[in-house]
Amino acid sequence: MAFKAFIKTHVYTKQEASKAKDRSSIQCLECYDRNVYIGTKNATVQHLILSSGTNGDMSPEQITTRDGRTKKLGSNNPIVQLRAVPLFNHLLVLWDRSIIALNMFSLDPVPTLKKIQHVSLFEVSESSFTDRGGCVGMVTSSSRRKVIHIHTVGVDRWEVVKEVPLLQDPWALAVDGTIVCLATCDRYLLCDVETGRGEELFPHDHSRQRIIVTSAGRGEFLLNGPESLGMFVMKTGTCQCPPLQWSPDVLAAKVCFPYILTVQPHALLIYSMLDQQCKQTVSVHGAKGLLSTPGGVVVFTERDIFSLRLVPLEEQIQALVGQEKVEEALLLLNGVQSHRPLDSYKDLQKTITCLAGFVHFYQEGFSEAKDLFIKGELDPREILLLYPDIGTCLSEDFHSQLDQENRGRDLQLLWQKDRNTFHHYLTFLGDFLRAVRGTEQDLKCSTEVDCALLRLYAELGDTENLQQLVIFPNECRLEYCVPVLEQYKRFFALGSLYQSHGKQTDALETWVKIADGSHKDSSCSDVYGHIVWTLSQLDDKETVWKFADWTLQRNQEIGVQLFTKRPREDRLETQDVLVLLEKHLLALVLYLEFLIHDLTSEEESHHNRLALAYVTQMLQEEEEADLRPTRGKLQHLLWESKFYDVSTLYERVKLTALHREKAILLGRRGEHSQALQVLVHQERDLQAAEAYCFRAVQDQDPQELLLTLLQIYLGSEDLISTVVDLLNNNPQAFAAEKVIQLLPDSWSVQLVSQYLFRSIRATVHQRRMVKLQKALAQVQLMQHKVIWMQASKTKFRLDKDEKCKVCQRVLTEPEFACSTHGELMHTSCAGLISAP
């Protein structure tokens, strides 16, 4: 069905006279309200009255008329123009080169208004051209002279207030305010009647095209320009609208925004001012002219009068959308709003935008559809209605505001026959719902949007978006969403949904079933780690204790993190935790390490329990297990900690094979000799014994312990080579005279020659270094003496009122100091300057 901007209605047919029918044909027309005035070729003015159900816009499809009065003016010269002045009930008639005034209803001449002679054209203006109120203006062109006259018209008088000379006779004119647009024999021009200033516009060729000058409203004129272009010219002489390309056969034109109606020999062509395209063709043969009315135009032939009523803009826009001419509909809507604001523009704009979105939606233009739905603030529930299954999340009290035609275009059939295309529609739904979620568009239906997204993600297998939806605050209804997640086996997301709704126990129980294998869900690779992390952040301590034992039984190393990773201000009672961990040795060790190393606990019981746990751990491990890391931690604790009970730990290890640990504990008791005996004879680790000597004294001289170790070595005949190595490796730590006293008399010098050589060399080196340091100190002292002597030989002049540079008091004592810059001061003040 073709688009219609105007509806054509027949108004009146003039009956043919038996004789001289050509002289009774319609020559011109004027309309006001329900009054129609016909001017004929034989100088007759006929008044028609429309049916009482109509007004000036002639809106009914069937219009009836009744005859009013008829006025014969005299000779048979045709009536050229009719103009109504309803302010005074005047009907102005241009006939026989004169303007006369008739009463609009009786058609009797107005006696006080004498006819104006020698007029070729005239137009009435809403402007009175003067400061006088209660008047209208009129512009006439003289048939004898090249001038136009400016008149003011009152109820009982009219007068010329101005005369504007022209270079050429006017052939056509139109008035807008104080501006007159004229057409002469070869050009168009503008004339300001207030200033008399004229402005040429552009030329025309009247031999090839009809001269057209008509007011387009809003300070604009429509002219038939060169090359058959309909030109819009503002009162200022500029063009703000693009020209319209129309036919060379145009006979007349009128503007009924947003359209331009043009009369051609066999039809009326209607163009859009918004895109300059022809929108409608109305068949009218022999049309002679057009007349603007409030709701459209009136077109007349020699015998007939037709009304072209403008279809309401809302209906036009909906018709364009129905024909899937989306861009045209939006162009028309926005263009009309800028010139003729509609009361319901916002609602209409939203409705049409959404309808346009549905057109793109069914054409799979998803990007455009989404933008239009958002711009039109479409209720997301309108979209959800179209989707099978997903629409089940809507509440029963929702009623669609769209037409049945749009609501009925369900996607059920597509879902059944073309799953691939339907998948694209599902993807669009996800994009649209994500875009509106959290906006004003989502406020009234946030629950439905979240439920729909959850079902959509579950169906599409979109694990990432599903998890993002359920872990953050949402409006999902559990009674709807829980069965959906169970149906699609999204148990990890189900737990997260429980959690976001404050059901921590249900969430953890669901995840535990996944970890134990009762539920199958591969969407999370580390469910157990997630459970531990959740418990570590949980405020509900009762729930934490409920799942703590299961967590530790599954993996002590990771499970203990539910205690160690908790926020500092929300930690569980340490003693309660230690009681629970008694049966989980590894977890106990890790928790005690956390207390000591991370929380820097100084409680003796913590240090004792950690050391004892290390011992227990090593004794329980199988022989093939690598105990070095644990043993290293134990030894480090024994060496570095100051907070454990030595006696308690020694009683625990003295009967074990942990000889190094025994030695450390003996050393902490000051029994270094016994500690070295343990390392040498029980542990049989001579390197450990030597290292013990250095570590036990920390930063002090290890000579005493090394001598003790030397004596232990000398007490065993199997360690002679070890004695030599000990001496050779530490020549500086042993005084030669003490070593010689300890060595057996049977030992030769050759056996310890290397030690003696290195010891003597080190001793000589040390003595020489002492001498060198002494010499350097003497040189430095000498330099200070030289400086002092040089300073003492300098002469100073001390005046009677000389003041100290520091304290500004007068120098009265014989002793004073002098700076390197020659400034004098008290000796006590000099000390203040030199102090750091």
* Distance, CA of 589 to CA of 15 (rounded, Å): 117
pLDDT in the model for residue 406: 46
* 707 burial type by CB count under 10 A (0-12 exposed, 13-18 middle, 19+ buried): middle
What is the tens place of the pLDDT at every residue in 699-709?
Answer: 777 878 888 88
CB proximity list for 638: less than 8 A, separation 6 or greater:
611, 644, 649, 661, 664, 665, 668
Mean pLDDT (whole number) for 534-546: 93
- Residues 556, 562, 563, 566, CA torsion sign: positive
Please, which pLDDT band fits residue 835 given cuts at 50, 70 and 90? low
As a whole number, mean pLDDT of residues 320-334 equals 82
pLDDT exceeds cutoff 80 at 337:
no
Q: How large is the average pLDDT for residues 507-534?
A: 92
CA dihedral 791, 795, 801, 803 (to 10 degrees): -20
Q: In this predicted structure, what is the pLDDT of residue 340?
A: 61
- pLDDT per residue over 236-260, tens digit each? 888 888 999 999 999 999 999 899 9
Q: What's this model's pTM, rounded to 2 decimal places?
A: 0.65
Could you give the residue ranges of the DSSP H alpha helices within 293-379? 313-322, 326-339, 345-362, 366-375
CA gap 728, 778 in Å, rounded: 36
Cβ–Cβ < 8 Å for 771, 740: no
> E strand or H helix at 516, and its extent?
helix 504-516
pLDDT at 408: 41
Per-residue pLDDT, 404:
44
Quote the DSSP letter at residue 397.
Answer: T
68 membership: H or E segment, kind and range: strand 65-72
Rg (CA), the chain: 56
Q: How far apart (Å, rounded) are the C-alpha atoms in residues 356 and 362?
A: 10
Output the pLDDT for position 537. 93
Residue 563 has pLDDT above 90, yes or no: yes
Contact 579, 620 (CB under 8 A): no
pLDDT at 84: 94
Provide the β-strand partners of residue 103: 90
pLDDT for 538 beyond 70: yes
- Output the average pLDDT for the chain: 87
Segment 672-715, tens digit of pLDDT: 999 988 988 888 888 888 888 888 887 777 878 888 888 888 87
- Measured CA to CA, the distance from residue 184 to residue 166 in angstroms comes to 10
Read off the tokens for 342: 């509609």
- Does position 318 have pLDDT exceeding 90, yes or no? no
Which carries the bigger pLDDT value, residue 108 or residue 324?
108
The 3-state secondary structure of 415-469 reads HHHCHHHHHHHHHHHHHHHHHHCCCHHHHHHHHHHHHHHHHHHHHHCCHHHHHHH
Report the percent of the chain where pLDDT is more than 70.
93
Report pLDDT for 627.
Answer: 79
Task: List the alpha helices (DSSP H) in 3-116.
Answer: none
State the pLDDT at residue 407: 47
Phi/psi at 77 (5° precision): -65, 140
State the average pLDDT over residues 68-91. Answer: 92
Give the separation between CA 682 and CA 788, rounded to whole angstroms.
67
> In this structure, which amino acid lies at residue 383?
I
What is the pLDDT at residue 758? 76
- Non-local (6+) Cβ contacts of 468 within 8 A are none
CA-angle at 163, arms to 189 and 225, nearest 5°: 15
Residue 38 clears pLDDT 90, i.e. is over it: yes
For strands 259-264 and 267-272, give the pairing: antiparallel
Query: Coil, helix or strand for 694?
Result: helix
Contact 563, 575 (CB under 8 A): no
Backbone dihedral angles phi then psi of residue 269, each to the nearest 5 degrees? -105, 130
Q: Would you state the structure tokens that stand for residue 790, as one six-digit string?
A: 């040089």
Give CA separation, 636 vs 607, 632, 664, 680, in Å: 12, 6, 10, 20
pLDDT digits (tens, 9 = 90+) for 444-462: 899 999 999 999 999 999 9
Q: What pLDDT shows up at residue 709?
A: 81
pLDDT in tens, 630-639: 999 999 999 9
Count Cβ neighbours within 10 Å for each residue of 759-781 and write b for 16 or more, e otherwise.
beeeeeeeeeeeeeeeeeeeeee
pLDDT tens string 101-160: 999 999 999 999 999 999 999 999 877 777 677 889 999 999 999 999 999 999 999 999
Q: Which of 155-169, 511-525, 555-569, 731-745 has the lowest mean pLDDT?
A: 731-745
Q: Who has greater pLDDT, 181 or 622?
A: 181
pLDDT for residue 189: 94
Nearest 5°: the CA angle 101, 103, 107 is 100
257-304 residue pLDDT tens: 899 999 998 899 999 999 999 999 999 998 999 999 988 999 999 999
Burial, 238: exposed, middle or buried (Cβ in 10 Å; 0-12, 13-18, 19+)?
exposed
